[in-house]
Amino acid sequence: MMRRVAILISGRGSNMTALIEAAAADGFPAEIALVISNKADAPGLATAQANGVKTLVIESKPFGKDRAGFEKLLQAALDEHKIELICLGGFMRLFTAEFVRHWYGRMLNIHPSLLPSFPGLDPHGQALRAGVKISGATVHFVIPETDAGPIVMQGAVPVADDDTADTLAARVLGIEHKIYPQALRLLANGGVQIVGEATRSSPGVCSDDNLIAPSVI
């Protein structure tokens, strides 16, 4: 039975598009049942609608700092549509600890760095200033701390000597679009388990499925 997934966006939702396209394939164990944006002008809403996915806008701005009030409406929508899993796709709104705990183990986020390195803002600039030779992206379970939580999957890309934050971001975005659907597949199939503060592959699942890395010659 396919798991019902909601994707939460605030902008163009490029990772949302990758998830929708992957879920349309035969045999994918999850259905993108709903896309919710906290901004009515998010370009990703039109993309989702063009792909036949139901969309909903729950404006967060009127709630100001009242995160719990916003989440009450959000949770009601998730319940109404019988959502089982959440994927954050550039959702620019912090959650309360209570909401995160309610969805623990069922809510994924993607961050454009190899966590725990370079969390927060400007991860590509952080990577370039540190002089790393490999960067990438991480899909992780959401916890109250920002850009933390048990890691589900990572993808790595090489860093070129002449990279800028923009060129590195474009290369990392390509790997994001590969690993996010695979991470959702793993979660929907029951292929990943949380053990303590980390994840482990479920019995019968190859741990190699948790990493996409560039070839080193």
Q: What is the pLDDT along the chain (217 residues), one digit of tens a residue?
A: 799 999 999 999 999 999 999 999 999 999 999 999 999 999 999 999 999 999 999 999 999 999 999 999 999 999 999 999 999 999 999 999 999 999 999 999 999 999 999 999 999 999 999 999 999 999 999 999 999 999 999 999 999 999 999 999 999 999 999 999 999 999 999 999 999 999 999 876 655 556 666 544 3
| 77 and 115 part of one domain | no
pLDDT value for 216:
43
| 115 and 96 part of one domain | no
pLDDT value for 4:
98
Domain boundary pick from 103, 123, 157: 103
Task: Mention every residue, 6+ apart, whose C-beta is less than 8 A from residue 196.
Answer: none
Q: Total structural domains in the chain?
A: 2
pLDDT value for 206:
58
pLDDT value for 209:
58
| 143 and 64 part of one domain | no
Q: Long-range contacts of range 63-69, CB-CB < 8 Å, 24 or more positions apart?
A: 67/93, 67/94, 67/95, 67/96, 67/99, 68/96, 68/98, 68/99
| 3 and 96 part of one domain | yes
| 61 and 11 part of one domain | yes
Q: Is 102 a catalytic residue?
A: no
Domain boundary pick from 55, 82, 103: 103
Question: By C-alpha distance, which of 81, 86, 80 is closest to 30?
Answer: 86
| 217 and 148 part of one domain | yes
| 115 and 178 part of one domain | yes
- Give the other-Cβ count within 10 Å of 80's Cβ: 10
Supply the range of the domain harboring residue 190.
110-217
Q: Which of 81, 102, 111, 140 is catalytic?
A: 111
Task: Mention every residue, 6+ apart, whose C-beta is less than 8 A from residue 31.
Answer: 2, 3, 4, 5, 23
CATH number of the domain that 75 lies in?
Answer: 3.40.50.170
| 57 and 15 part of one domain | yes
| 162 and 197 part of one domain | yes
pLDDT value for 202:
85
| 58 and 122 part of one domain | no
